[in-house]
Amino acid sequence: MDMKVSFGGLNLKNPVMTASGTFGFGLEFAPYGDLTKLGGIVAKGLSLKPREGNPMPRIAETPCGMLNAIGIQNPGVEDFITKALPALPWKDVAVIANLYACDAAEFGELAGVLAGEEGVAALEVNVSCPNVKEGGIAFGQDPKQICKVTEAVKKNAGNKPVIVKLSPNVTDIVTCARAAAEGGADSLSLINTLSGMAVDIRNRQPRIANVIAGLSGPAIKPVALRCVHQVVQAVDIPVVGIGGIASAEDALEFILVGAHAIQVGTANFLRPDFSFDLVDELEKLLEDIGAESLDEFRGSLKLPL
Amino acid sequence: MDMKVSFGGLNLKNPVMTASGTFGFGLEFAPYGDLTKLGGIVAKGLSLKPREGNPMPRIAETPCGMLNAIGIQNPGVEDFITKALPALPWKDVAVIANLYACDAAEFGELAGVLAGEEGVAALEVNVSCPNVKEGGIAFGQDPKQICKVTEAVKKNAGNKPVIVKLSPNVTDIVTCARAAAEGGADSLSLINTLSGMAVDIRNRQPRIANVIAGLSGPAIKPVALRCVHQVVQAVDIPVVGIGGIASAEDALEFILVGAHAIQVGTANFLRPDFSFDLVDELEKLLEDIGAESLDEFRGSLKLPL
Amino acid sequence: MSLRNCQCIRILDVSPVGQLKKPDEFFELKLEYPNWDGWKPGQFVMIRPTGWELDLLWARPFSICSADGETLTLFVQKVGRGTSRITALKPGDTVSIWGPLGNSFAMEPDTPTLLLAGGIGIAPFRGYVEHHSHPENLRLFLAHRLPLECYPFGQLSSKVEGLCMLDGQPDDLQYIIAAMKEQIREFAEKDGLVLACGPTPFMRTVQTFANEFGVRAQVSLENRMACGVGACLGCVTKDGNDHHVQVCTKGPVFWTDKVKL
Amino acid sequence: MSLRNCQCIRILDVSPVGQLKKPDEFFELKLEYPNWDGWKPGQFVMIRPTGWELDLLWARPFSICSADGETLTLFVQKVGRGTSRITALKPGDTVSIWGPLGNSFAMEPDTPTLLLAGGIGIAPFRGYVEHHSHPENLRLFLAHRLPLECYPFGQLSSKVEGLCMLDGQPDDLQYIIAAMKEQIREFAEKDGLVLACGPTPFMRTVQTFANEFGVRAQVSLENRMACGVGACLGCVTKDGNDHHVQVCTKGPVFWTDKVKL
Ligand SMILES: Cc1cc2nc3c(=O)[nH]c(=O)nc-3n(C[C@H](O)[C@H](O)[C@H](O)COP(=O)(O)OP(=O)(O)OC[C@H]3O[C@@H](n4cnc5c(N)ncnc54)[C@H](O)[C@@H]3O)c2cc1C
Ligand SMILES: Cc1cc2nc3c(=O)[nH]c(=O)nc-3n(C[C@H](O)[C@H](O)[C@H](O)COP(=O)(O)OP(=O)(O)OC[C@H]3O[C@@H](n4cnc5c(N)ncnc54)[C@H](O)[C@@H]3O)c2cc1C
Ligand SMILES: Cc1cc2nc3c(=O)[nH]c(=O)nc-3n(C[C@H](O)[C@H](O)[C@H](O)COP(=O)(O)O)c2cc1C
Ligand SMILES: Cc1cc2nc3c(=O)[nH]c(=O)nc-3n(C[C@H](O)[C@H](O)[C@H](O)COP(=O)(O)O)c2cc1C
Ligand code: FES
Ligand code: FES
């Protein structure tokens, strides 16, 4: 079956992408599979300046999920451009940069730095980071800010497609999606992590130094599917589905509600070859359930009248 | 250890309550344990008039959780008062009515009907029901409405304590909690279910006829803990913790962040005697971890400076 | 009323049935007999293996197939994650079990009674036949997709008149329906009783013919269940007055004129 | 560089160690040897049993204890949910395994080398001793909480000079620390090498004394890990310049002057 997919200025050889922060810069997974087999690689979050991230502990396991508060530890965008990017097989797999900043101007500047990089297929804008204390939450949860940031990125992105990544920690995800569309986003990706917490009753401390952290993994899949469904129904630009995908069936669920592509996050920790295998499994399952084509299947959910 | 707890006008013999909609009217569980062993029983949601609820299918299993869209099927408040309530051992266990309505006036009326019932220990106000299409979502997610509803219930509740039950499907749960406090709530209970969805890739249909449903169970525990933590830190009235409790350790986590009591929901489906056993296990675990008393342990979470 | 407390009991044996053709779809589960003071054919149990971690939350409902004072026998078809794990249990493993739950099939020893089973729907009829004082008044009709040896049909057809039809080819279904219609008509004429258990479409067909011929008939429903005790309202069906009623407590057996399918 | 692909391999044997006193805390796991072209003592593997459902998402890291071309041996202490399930595996069960991961302990055959193990921290030293060409230059010091027979101490002390101290009573710890200090001082004086593996407080103590006596020393860290490949940044520690570095790829072994604990 033809698994190619084109949307929002991206042409992918299949709908399987890896989610930011869960696949490093991609190179970490090269010993476990052929990176060029993937539809796309979203690199870990990048900021203008290097960031040390949050104090430890940063991760905790939860029922069918995990919490993380990494705090966008990264070597800065320049380091990415000079070191990781040249080492990646970007001619044969879409490499997408994930942008993190704390105001619109900084986002614009980041986009400007990446706009000229041939190896970067698109920019994904993380307006949601729920991990970082310094204003992260409020700003990704405010439609006006989302629109402003999207505009700022779009203005400096040159011809790079812009994907805006939405947070589920909002009363109304559709309003946020509309705000990104209004700001000129070429596509949307959702969801980022849910805001959560874990504590240890024995030492009476939070299990994560940052106290509040981001919940990901299969536990959040129903929330993610609902968000994607609501946004697809309401907004015209294409959507990339993220959240708890841990099997080919999960991936197809997102495509069924209308996602053009999907991103695998936490499941990369189940096995480092998970995403590579998923590419094959997805095609096989589509055939098994009798779908005519990816296009025919996408968004074919039958809703009650 | 003394497990008694008093808060917001309620005196419970222990902090273990059962959550609305997961324990029927209580009587369904009488063959599996001594109802008077529990700290409290929150009866299934009641409306003024009988309701047939949503079409089938109404429930689906998800990773470490479940979705439900029952739609507050119930025989109406009068039927509860004449049939279930007299059959319950309300002299020996706090029976709490859970109120469902779609506007403030109707909530007030419901409260008025129950205010005179000796067997009712308190009223819990479900301002959040994310299952029901008819305006349910918007209204529980709007702090102004929450305040208005709380006032309306409080006005008619006589001397019955009023617990307002909050939805996690909001950008800022603290604002909602403040609104309820402002409206006169004696305590808060949280969380209700997360808004979620599931689909079947084979028949291409939603797994729940209502399409969007409420996610509950262990999967949501990190979100619930975070919400309780945020509300306890910001609001002065007592809080009842709900969400994914499936062990004594889970229950103590909520108490550690500051909850006065907890409610068991989905875990009642693990085994019908779950909540009864939890009462004993809770006391034992508190002793095992060296807590001096329930009061000493409650809210003793050590936060980083 | 029988005790319905929740117990933790041990698995005695899990063995595949009808190995030859399809080795791992049907299983007979033998468990320690829970401390019950009785049960009736048509009733069911909820089972959740101890040590299931939390990613399958719910117990699963199964008809009581047969039981003596020592052993409880269930008949389980592997269809998904839950039944896969249940049929992989080993002797000595334990399960939480609550039951017997629900109502039971009408039992009128002197009335000619037709038992209609669709596949795994045969499970409760094993107990029914064993409990019946006049098995000569019973006729069992089984529509089966897999080879007959996969079902406990032999055990029953030695005691009662047994008919079976294979639902193997696409065309088979229409013949099965026609034969079922004939059977139902026959029992209507002798003022008999019709009892049916199987997938919902099968139950609908039974209902249609029962109405057509005016025979007293009961169907057992297999709705998905979370609690099994009437509390969650996840398993409801519509009764004759279009009211939602719990299949787990008002059923699983319903008179065909008192249920909308 | 050795192959680090992810494989699905079979468990050969799981057996409790030191049954007598505490029958089920320490286990020796034997697995099929994965298709590796080599490994070094101090490296580790990530293991996730196939068929773990999703309620334990992460694999678990374990030091490579020993391996020949046929068998990989791990030494596992049961401390929580993951290790409970791993130690309950049966021969024939399969696990996903990726490795060998991380760096390894310095190996200087002619340098007097002190191996400091805190409890389960003895695991990597079994491979270290087996790989060492001059075991007469090695001394192993084990601080143990359980009876000695629970640890693979006997296997090692037959090859190298072995010391051990029981950490059983509240007072014991101060004597252990004093003895450790003495040992580290001795190896500092002969310009030796100190290698340590154990709980973080133990590593901190080693670091303090190594600094005090100016001896070259390495510690192996046991931070919680999700990916094991350097991607998630969940396992970081601070290096000498206060930068966060991944324990799984920059470690697990660190020179004591290049890490903040
Ligand atoms: C009162 C009652 C008695 C039953 N008696 C028996 C019995 O004796 N033997 C037996 O093998 N089974 C019996 N069942 C059905 C059995 O409970 C289901 O097959 C089982 O719950 C499936 O669980 P699973 O996790 O394997 O399947 P899932 O993974 O949950 O589902 C697999 C597939 O089966 C369908 N399915 C799952 N559960 C049900 C259900 N309850 N009803 C209809 N379709 C379902 C799903 O839609 C899906 O297509 C009975 C059900 C009820 C309500
Ligand atoms: C490089 C490396 C090598 C290791 N080698 C071995 C080995 O050879 N043998 C062995 O038995 N163990 C080893 N460990 C530790 C082992 O990975 C943990 O004990 C295991 O992951 C615990 O999992 P659990 O689910 O049983 O415990 P959990 O339920 O996750 O936790 C139980 C308790 O143990 C603590 N804990 C859990 N994981 C860790 C961890 N990674 N570090 C410190 N504390 C933890 C928790 O805080 C909790 O108190 C190693 C760890 C690392 C990082
Ligand atoms: C350890 C970790 C780090 C993450 N870092 C980032 C990040 O830097 N930028 C970002 O946009 N999302 C980040 N995320 C969110 C994921 O990209 C993804 O949106 C989320 O985990 C939900 O998908 P999942 O359930 O498949 O993991 C991170 C997630 C995890 C688990
Ligand atoms: C089947 C079901 C029905 C519910 N019905 C109600 C209800 O009528 N009123 C209400 O306030 N909450 C209702 N809830 C929400 C629960 O009371 C509880 O807030 C939620 O399930 C989270 O807790 P848990 O994770 O322990 O289940 C229902 C939940 C379930 C699973
Ligand atoms: S299964 Fe819960 S009401 Fe029937
Ligand atoms: S465990 Fe993921 S970076 Fe080390």
C141: helix, strand or coil: strand
Two tokens, residue A93 = 């797999």
Helical pair B274-288 and B248-257, crossing angle rounded to 10 deg: 60
Residues 6+ apart with CB under 8 A from A82: none
pLDDT tens digit sequence for A7-64 = 999 999 999 999 999 999 999 999 999 999 999 999 999 999 999 999 999 999 999 9
D226: helix, strand or coil: coil
For residues D61 and D225, the answer to whether their CB atoms sit within 8 Å is yes
Q: Measure the CA–CA gap between A119 and C235, rounded to whole angstroms.
A: 54
Evaluate whether residue A230 is within a structural domain.
yes
Say if ligand 5 is within 6 A of residue C225 CB. Answer: yes
- Asked whether this complex has an ipTM greater than 0.90, the answer is yes
CA-based R_g, chain C, Å: 18
Residue entry with tokens 């997961």: B22
| Amino acid identity, position A48 | L
User: Does the pLDDT value for residue C249 go beyond 70?
Assistant: yes
pLDDT tens digit sequence for C47-83 = 999 877 788 899 999 999 988 889 999 999 999 999 9
Q: Which ligand is nearest to the CA of C58?
A: 1
Q: Which of C2, C47, C224, C232 is most worth mutating to test chain B (most B CB atoms within 10 A of its CB)? A: C232
Residue B90: CATH number of its domain:
3.20.20.70
List the beta bridge partners of residue B200.
B205
pLDDT tens digit sequence for A59-86 = 999 999 999 999 999 999 999 999 999 9
Evaluate whether residue B239 is within a structural domain.
yes
Residue (of D153, D166, D161, D237) closest to D203 by Cα position: D237
Residue entry with tokens 């509740």: B157
- Walk me through the domains of chain D, giving residue ranges and CATH numbers: 5-101 (2.40.30.10), 113-220 (3.40.50.80)
Evaluate whether residue A211 is within a structural domain.
no
For residues A5 and A251, the answer to whether their CB atoms sit within 8 Å is no
| Amino acid identity, position B267 | A
D6, closest residue in chain A (CA to CA):
A32
For residues D55 and D8, the answer to whether their CB atoms sit within 8 Å is no
- pLDDT for res C47: 96
Q: Which atom belonging to ligand 3 lies closest to the Cα atom of A217?
A: 25
For residues D260 and D237, the answer to whether their CB atoms sit within 8 Å is yes
* Burial bucket for residue D166 (CB in 10 Å: 0-12, 13-18, 19+): middle
In the sheet that holds D26-32, the strands lie side by side as D60-63, D44-49, D94-101, D6-16, D26-32, D71-77, D66-67
C55, closest residue in chain A (CA to CA):
A64
Evaluate whether residue A257 is within a structural domain.
yes
Q: Measure the CA–CA gap between D99 and D34, rounded to whole angstroms.
A: 9
Evaluate whether residue B112 is within a structural domain.
yes
E runs forming strands in chain C: 6-16, 26-32, 44-49, 60-63, 66-67, 71-77, 94-101, 113-118, 138-144, 161-166, 193-197, 216-220, 237-239, 244-245, 253-255, 259-260
Residues 6+ apart with CB under 8 A from C178: none
Q: Does C57 lie at the interface with A, CB-CB under 8 angstroms?
A: no
Q: Which of residues 209-228 of A touch B (CB under 8 A)?
A: 209, 211-213, 215, 217-223, 225-226
- pLDDT for res D2: 41
Inter-chain residue contact D231 with A268, CB threshold 8 Å:
yes
SS (H, E, C) chain A: CCCCEEECCEEECCCEEECCCCCCCCHHHHHHCCHHHCCEEEEEEECCCCECCCCCCCEEEECCEEEECCCCCECCHHHHHHHHHHHCCCCCCEEEEEECCCCHHHHHHHHHHHHCCCCCCEEEEECCCCCCCCCHHHHHCCHHHHHHHHHHHHHHCCCCCEEEECCCCCCCHHHHHHHHHHCCCCEEEECCCEEECCEECCCCEECCCCCCEEEECHHHHHHHHHHHHHHHHHCCCCEEEECCCCCHHHHHHHHHCCCCEEEECHHHHCCCCHHHHHHHHHHHHHHHCCCCCHHHHCCCCCCCC
Inter-chain residue contact A32 with D233, CB threshold 8 Å:
no
Ligand 4 mean position, distance from CA B227 (Å): 16
Q: How far is C54 from chain B (nearest CA, A)?
A: 5
Inter-chain residue contact C98 with B53, CB threshold 8 Å:
no
pLDDT tens digit sequence for D137-156 = 999 999 888 878 788 887 78
pLDDT tens digit sequence for C134-161 = 999 999 999 888 878 788 887 787 788 7
Q: Measure the CA–CA gap between B45 and B101, rounded to whole angstroms.
A: 9
Q: Measure the CA–CA gap between C84 and C87, rounded to whole angstroms.
A: 5
User: What residues make up the domain containing B128?
Assistant: 5-53+72-193+216-297
Dihedral over Cα of D126, D130, D134, D136: its sign: positive
Q: Does D57 lie at the interface with B, CB-CB under 8 angstroms?
A: no
pLDDT tens digit sequence for A226-276 = 999 999 999 999 999 999 999 999 999 999 999 999 999 999 999 999 999
Evaluate whether residue A204 is within a structural domain.
no
pLDDT tens digit sequence for B152-189 = 999 999 999 999 999 999 999 999 999 999 999 999 99
What total number of domains does chain B contain? 1
Residue B214, φ and ψ in degrees, nearest 5: -105, 125
- pLDDT for res C22: 57
Residue (of B40, B24, B110, B71) closest to B263 by Cα position: B40
**Band (B138; pLDDT cuts 50, 70, 90):** low
Evaluate whether residue B133 is within a structural domain.
yes
Q: Cβ atoms within 10 A of the Cβ of A282, count?
A: 24
**Band (A134; pLDDT cuts 50, 70, 90):** very low
Dihedral over Cα of B155, B157, B160, B165: its sign: negative
Evaluate whether residue A127 is within a structural domain.
yes
Helical pair D172-189 and D200-213, crossing angle rounded to 10 deg: 40
| Selected catalytic residue, list B129, B147, B176, B227 | B129
